[in-house]
Structure 1
Amino acid sequence: MTTTTGAGAGSTVPHVADGHDLIRVHGARENNLKNVSVEIPKRRLTVFTGISGSGKSSLVFDTIAAESQRLINETYSAFVQGFMPTLARPDVDVLDGLTTAIIVDQQRIGSDPRSTVGTATDAHAMLRILFSRLGKPHIGSPKAFSFNVASISGAGAVTLERGGKTVKERRDFSITGGMCPRCEGRGSVTDIDLTQLYDEDKSLAEGALTVPGYKAGGWNYRLYSESGFFDPDKPIRTYTRKQLHDFLHRQPVRMKIAGINMTYEGLIPRIQRSMLAKDREAMQPHIREFVDRAVTFTTCPECDGTRLNEGARSSKIEGMSIADACALQISDLAEWVRALNQPSPSSSSRGYPTVAPLLTALGETLDSFVEIGLGYLSLDRPAGTLSGGEAQRVKMIRHLGSSLTDVTYVFDEPSIGLHPHDIQRMNDLLLRLRDKGNTVLVVEHKPEVIALADHVVDLGPGAGAAGGEVVFEGTVERLRTSGTRTGRHLDDRAALKERVRKPVGALEVRGATTHNLQGVDVDIPLGVLTVITGVAGSGKSSLVHGSIPAGSDVVSIDQTPIRGSRRSNPATYTGLLEPVRKAFAKANGVKPALFSANSEGACPTCNGVGVIYTDLAMMAGVATTCEECEGKRFDASVLEYRLGGRDISEVLAMPVAEAEEFFAAGEARTPAAHRTLRHMADVGLGYLTLGQPLTTLSGGERQRLKLATHMAEKSKDRHIYVLDEPTTGLHLADVEQLLGLLDRLVDAGKSVIVIEHHQAVMAHADWIIDLGPGAGHDGGRIVFEGTPADLVTARSTLTGEHLADYVGA
């Protein structure tokens, strides 16, 4: 064994003296990276640290993982590549020693209602096999228990080779699936409120249709008013049964309207196809508002929400159907599976030797859920309802059972959403992946995870343009004495407050039963900083979001994606661009619309997008920087206009911190813009550029951007701020800044309620409400309420024990 010296630290990492045992990155320049060179040991756990915006994700995800995936995609045929996303080669000089990269990030696991926790892992597939073998009565293969497979029968032609000749024969076929025929495996059915589609007292000529996009005189409207199936001058309530059927339900038929070929179909199937088939979150706001108003989702009455047909529900093992098993809390299901795997002296039916390996594998998978703190979930939980942290841990479980070795697993803050008690269990799983012979790369801020590392790469020294350099590379011990920002703050511990604020009132919650809450009664104090804590799944979000009514007095700020296209950026989202455009217009004596890349100022070649998308048919499409505007998005004539010596594209390329100074004084002084920028800097987003696409922001960055936007609003009627893990994505050094911000909100007369696991925030609270004692049905109760000092003194809960250790009590 030999050693290699870490960059800038003099650290040593043991490894075999062979280039094949290193991932070598030389000259990486993605985003803000400044010719970064680093050598990462394989089959080790490497943690990447640094403040938000320092370049961690640019190095790990946008360079190493992106190139691995791009090279893998190139091994497929041109036809297959046509169905894959386009991946450009990262801007790097040398990148070798790569292995297959598996990204385990916080992206949600789709919103398809047929996607569940069970289908997102191997658990549901194994459960289907189990019921196909042991279920009584026996109803068929594993497909018979799948709500993604319909039961169909029919006949078709098959081609056979017989006696040297090719012949065709007609064969009957039958597929037995488990899908409920009523809801088609979704578990819910939709009902449309007809009163939201039209005013039955009006005629079509009088504008009866009230569906967005069906304005009188438009083509959608003319399709109905000129179809000839009914009199457009008659009120809809006077239609005959046939006319009403043609209006609402008629099958598609071709016809000519004003000499143009069009397809007519009933209003309901047309709306279902054009609106309801789309992802709700991708809808335009006015369409989404209409759908929420016009459509109601109810549990399917035929399958009672199980998604399965009667046959699949009738087959049982030990009195339990597969629907019953999927509805169990996973920790309980694991116990049921273990009982099946054990012979029982009282029953010859127990202990199934033919499926013992399957029962063992299923039990291990379910135990992994419990180990990682997700035992409170059920396999029938829709995958789209999982938080980012839950989704990441579900993906992690999927890979734990993999037979692959010597691959690179890439994690993005796996500690998100985890109580300190749960982080240790998650750490154990990271080590298991490493010990199977894999390379594990983790982007992380939590000291508990950093301490786990075999190797640390610290980026900085600052964020954005001030970052993008490797400032330390080596062991955790040497990081502590390295003098870097991460090293200096690694052992930071917040102290308990000497004095806590007194509440000025309380939000009374009585008999709360949302999800797993067990009739909770609690008074949430107002006028102070209140922290709601507890292990993952204990009921924190259920208490806060389910019991605090949203209204004009409450601002609820979470980490859900911000709606918008690739044109959206912090400047457009916060409303900052509006005063900036007006300032440019006033300084140059022209129209504000010229300074919008979505309006008159757009580059005519790329239409203000900044890139050109080229469709190469069966080959993967390519996105290239627009040569006309060089990615600046604006017409060249617009860039001749300046404010404070900068054109509009240069302003949008500024980091928030620089722009805050720019708009504070001189010719560029714009108070409205400066106020918004100040709030963005206050929430720790000083490194973001004003024109950065919103699609590139992390969950924590999205939440802080929403918070900054609300703080910049002039409205004074919102007094209660509800935040969901605002420390997500924050470096150790930035947590102190966040605490100062929360204090300023409270001192300004606001009530701040925070769902949080970070001990520094707990220690800084005026009041703590701790839920537990466990997760799922083992939680849902108030186990402590009082000051942080009282919680530390009592040490009566898991939170109390960890907080006491944190503050050194």
Structure 2
Amino acid sequence: MIKVRGARANNLAGISLDIPKRRLSVFTGVSGSGKSSLVFGTIAAESQRLINETYSAFVQSFMPNLPRPDADGLHNLSAAIVIDQERMGANSRSTVGTATDAYAMLRILFSRLGEPHVGTSGAFSFNVPEGMCPRCEGLGEVSQIDVDQLVDRRLSLNEGAVTIPNFAVGNWYWEVLVSSGFYDPDKKLADFTDQEWHDLLRKETVKVKVGNHNITYEGLIPKITRMWLVKERDALQGHVRAFVDRAVVFAECPDCGGTRLSAAALSSKIQGRNIAECAALQITDLAKFVRGIEAESVGPLLDNLRGLLDSLVEIGLGYLSLDRPSATLSGGEAQRVKMVRHLGSSLTDVTYVFDEPTAGLHPHDIRRMNDLLLRLRDKGNTVLVVEHKPEVIAIADHVVDLGPGAGGDGGHVTFSGDVPGLRASTTLTGRYLEHRVRLRERPRQPRGHIAVEGADLHNLRDIDVEVPLGVLTVVTGVAGSGKSSLVHGYLAGRDGVVVADQSPIRGSRRSNPATYTGLLGPMRTAFAKANGVKAALFSANSAGACPKCKGIGLIYTDLAMMAGVASVCEECEGRRYTPEVLTYTLRGKNISEVLEMSVAEAHGFFPAGQAHAILGRLADVGLGYLRLGQPLNTLSGGERQRLKLAIHMAEKAATYILDEPTTGLHMADVDKLLALLDRLVDDGNSVVVIEHHQAVMAHADWLIDLGPGGGHDGGRVVFTGTPAALVAEADTLTAQHLREYVDRD
């Protein structure tokens, strides 16, 4: 047994429980009940912290700093491997092939069997000089800079001809240009000679004298390349990122045709295909191709590669290709790619921790995911899964239900035992295990439609479809069938269309639900009015901020070779404000205490006005348990989506697009979501939802089902009509599962 004693992370109420090892345990409960705090913030965090402490200080400097979890004791832990839904980073050199080691195996295969023989496996790698295309350096695309986005030719340097951020007249970078002596700063750029243009734009690094200082001069293009273009795009912020997006055009590399590889690597073939062509194949097709290769000299390698490719197909990723950039995968796809890496591992007695592994999966694929979870368990591992889907709960050896509510109303173990025991219990999860939503008997009638014609983005097969307006439309289909390509590619971006998805919310360490939703404005105004002082005092980014931590509440310390440490500010004790500001109160509470409130508490605290309206929308989307001052980077993808939806609900929108809004929702909360969607439609809006949850499908007015499979087996409209018609007439995978769901009603 893993023994947890007195766990108090976040809202956990000092809970103690035993979790069986080498079993599959599922943790359930409403959003905000404490599941992640127990599994990730306590058990996994302590396991990883203890392992990290065994490494040298130098190695630890490259690892995340994990604080000791707030618990009296944790016993009998084993090494924990967390397989979450975090995107796999924006590294442009990472692909599905490199992330799973499938491409490494393919490289060895071509180095042994490829004709003509061109070298070792490194000769087929786009990440080392030996194999990369020299023109694009293994990126597959080249950047071209639009000079007219850098300068205004009609002006001189003294008149502000350089339009690059941080190069304004009087700025240090501008000073270096005008003092270099390579051109006349009063001369219009349009009158520059070829040599002057070269010196301004492309001159390599040289030393020049500016006043009494010797400084380094380089042309604008090499300078901005060095400063910004070598960085990942997502690392750039604000006006710099906007400038790069505007000034830099990326095009397919003309030398390698986007394959990233050298001419030598592309010349070597097996059965008529080079390695780039193999990497571009859909994984289901690549698996067939590899099965057709017979070579005793690489027999074990072929067996391993076939097993890995078959696992990718089995887990529902057969529609991907090995050259697909990792950064383009959804959270669910990224989690399944990470999972495949562990299926063939020789490690046993490991604790695998999953965060909603069925996110983004059609009911057809959930059964395959269940099989993989059981396979991990049967190898002798402990598998801990945070999950809401009844299909996953049903296969658990042990269930821990947390609640009874969210936030301050949660954090207690309401049930711990087997599935029959949960089903017989009176907990919310136990009551909802067999809950079913009935088919909508009288679908609402559309007021018109949006016509999509000849849609051929990604795997879409030149399809025509009409999306009805004024109703709830649900777009379904297995993973990779083309749902996102259709909805995001052809509906998003139109006038009056609002998209609320699960993508990360941009913001600093200071960002929280109060700042992001605009709630802090009326809060500050209310405090200022009640105390007769200026509103800026109640902003942690302005006059009222604690001077030591600058209003963050934490002090971040860089320990050089050791990992950085975040500690609570001793001066304000994490309250973010000066002592003076905290003396001002509103109905007995200071600003820090209000920011510690949950949305539900604050909704009662602000009984009217703009603050009450904003908090009401947050409660409507199921975020009543969120703290107003909770950092945005701690929110899950589903919480981020619902936060965006709450903001957009204040707008005058015509059409809402939601991408899997049930992600992270307990079965009881799905009913609340359906009521919210109904309200949006009844208020005169159109709602289009990409969704796999059968309850949402059954509740729809209209269904658009794509398929029949994923990748090149998908991209077709296999059904459009009402849910009742789908259940009665259709023979698609969605129809089969919705029919089974309804039959059990």
Superposed CA offset, 1:202-247 (max 9, x none): 1111111222222222223222223222111111121122211111
> Relative to 1, partners in 2 of residues 1:578 and 1:704: Cα closer, same or farther, differing over 3 Å?
same
Superposed CA offset, 1:107-151 (max 9, x none): 11111111000000120111111111100111111111110010x
Deviation of 1:601 (Å): 1.3
Mapped pair 1:500 → 2:440: no
The equivalences for 1:203-242 within 5 A come to 203-242=156-195
Equivalent residue number for residue 6 of structure 1: none
Equivalent residue number for residue 806 of structure 1: 741
For residue 63 of structure 1, the aligned residue among 38, 42, 51 is: 42
The equivalences for 1:432-511 within 5 A come to 432-511=375-454
Deviation of 1:286 (Å): 2.6
* Worse overlay, 282-291 or 771-780: 282-291
> Relative to 1, partners in 2 of residues 1:356 and 1:254: Cα closer, same or farther, differing over 3 Å?
same
Mapped pair 1:422 → 2:354: no
Q: Distance in 2 between matches of 1:255 and 1:39?
A: 70
Mapped pair 1:53 → 2:32: yes
2:67 maps to amino acid: A
Equivalent residue number for residue 721 of structure 1: 656
For residue 123 of structure 2, the aligned residue among 140, 144, 148 is: 144
Whether contact under 8 Å (1:505, 1:526) holds in the other structure is: yes
Whether contact under 8 Å (1:281, 1:563) holds in the other structure is: no
Superposed CA offset, 1:690-749 (max 9, x none): 110010000000000000011123xx2x20111100000000000000001101111111
Equivalent residue number for residue 23 of structure 1: 2
Q: Distance in 2 between matches of 1:148 and 1:781?
A: 36
Mapped pair 1:267 → 2:220: yes
Whether contact under 8 Å (1:413, 1:729) holds in the other structure is: yes
Q: Distance in 1 between matches of 2:66 and 2:728?
A: 54
Deviation of 1:520 (Å): 0.5
Aligned to 2:352, the other structure's residue is in SS state strand
Equivalent residue number for residue 695 of structure 1: 633
Q: Distance in 2 between matches of 1:117 and 1:552?
A: 35
Mapped pair 1:365 → 2:312: no
* Worse overlay, 205-214 or 373-382: 205-214
Whether contact under 8 Å (1:508, 1:524) holds in the other structure is: yes
Deviation of 1:258 (Å): 5.3
Mapped pair 1:648 → 2:588: no
Aligned to 1:119, the other structure's residue is in SS state helix
1:604 maps to amino acid: P
For normalisation by structure 2, the TM-score amounts to 0.98
Equivalent residue number for residue 637 of structure 1: 580
For residue 787 of structure 1, the aligned residue among 714, 722, 726 is: 722
Mapped pair 1:116 → 2:95: yes
The equivalences for 1:604-753 within 5 A come to 604-664=547-607, 669=608, 671-713=609-651, 716=652, 718-753=653-688
Q: Distance in 1 between matches of 2:555 and 2:208?
A: 38
Equivalent residue number for residue 528 of structure 2: 585
Deviation of 1:262 (Å): 4.2
Superposed CA offset, 1:164-208 (max 9, x none): xxxxxxxxxxxxx21111111111111111111111111111111
Equivalent residue number for residue 160 of structure 1: none
Aligned to 2:99, the other structure's residue is in SS state coil
Equivalent residue number for residue 761 of structure 1: 696
Whether contact under 8 Å (2:454, 2:464) holds in the other structure is: yes
Superposed CA offset, 1:66-99 (max 9, x none): 1111111111111211222211111111111111
Q: Distance in 1 between matches of 2:279 and 2:194?
A: 44
2:338 maps to amino acid: K
Q: Distance in 1 between matches of 2:297 and 2:90?
A: 37
> Relative to 1, partners in 2 of residues 1:589 and 1:258: Cα closer, same or farther, differing over 3 Å?
farther
Deviation of 1:261 (Å): 5.8
Deviation of 1:495 (Å): 0.1
The equivalences for 1:504-653 within 5 A come to 504-653=447-596
Aligned to 2:649, the other structure's residue is in SS state helix
The equivalences for 1:63-82 within 5 A come to 63-82=42-61
Aligned to 1:118, the other structure's residue is in SS state helix
Deviation of 1:254 (Å): 3.9
2:685 maps to amino acid: K
Aligned to 1:120, the other structure's residue is in SS state helix
* Worse overlay, 506-515 or 229-238: 229-238
Whether contact under 8 Å (1:675, 1:712) holds in the other structure is: no
1:115 maps to amino acid: S
2:409 maps to amino acid: A
Equivalent residue number for residue 37 of structure 1: 16
Q: Distance in 1 between matches of 2:284 and 2:571?
A: 59
Q: Distance in 2 between matches of 1:253 and 1:656?
A: 58
Count matched residues: 744
Whether contact under 8 Å (1:282, 1:563) holds in the other structure is: no
Q: Distance in 2 between matches of 1:575 and 1:549?
A: 24
Gaps of 5+ in 1: 1-21, 151-176, 341-350
Deviation of 1:339 (Å): 1.1
Q: Distance in 2 between matches of 1:609 and 1:255?
A: 42
Whether contact under 8 Å (2:492, 2:499) holds in the other structure is: no
Q: Distance in 2 between matches of 1:725 and 1:549?
A: 15
Equivalent residue number for residue 151 of structure 2: 198
Q: Distance in 1 between matches of 2:158 and 2:580?
A: 47
Q: Distance in 2 between matches of 1:645 and 1:83?
A: 46
Deviation of 1:376 (Å): 0.1
2:63 maps to amino acid: M
1:556 maps to amino acid: V
Give the % identical residues: 68
The equivalences for 1:299-378 within 5 A come to 299-340=252-293, 351-378=294-321
2:29 maps to amino acid: G
Q: Distance in 1 between matches of 2:232 and 2:620?
A: 34
For residue 244 of structure 1, the aligned residue among 192, 197, 211 is: 197
Equivalent residue number for residue 169 of structure 1: none
1:477 maps to amino acid: P
Q: Distance in 1 between matches of 2:317 and 2:407?
A: 35
> Relative to 1, partners in 2 of residues 1:652 and 1:312: Cα closer, same or farther, differing over 3 Å?
same
Whether contact under 8 Å (1:685, 1:701) holds in the other structure is: yes
Deviation of 1:648 (Å): 0.8
Superposed CA offset, 1:33-67 (max 9, x none): 11111111111000000000000000100111111
Gaps of 5+ in 2: none
Q: Distance in 2 between matches of 1:269 and 1:744?
A: 55
Q: Distance in 1 between matches of 2:424 and 2:705?
A: 36
2:611 maps to amino acid: A
Deviation of 1:551 (Å): 3.5
> Relative to 1, partners in 2 of residues 1:570 and 1:278: Cα closer, same or farther, differing over 3 Å?
farther
Aligned to 2:292, the other structure's residue is in SS state helix
Q: Distance in 1 between matches of 2:336 and 2:503?
A: 17
Q: Distance in 1 between matches of 2:714 and 2:208?
A: 61
Whether contact under 8 Å (1:481, 1:487) holds in the other structure is: yes
Name the Cα RMSD after superposition. Answer: 1.2
Superposed CA offset, 1:3-43 (max 9, x none): xxxxxxxxxxxxxxxxxxx1111011111111111111111
Superposed CA offset, 1:669-697 (max 9, x none): 4x111111111110000000011001000
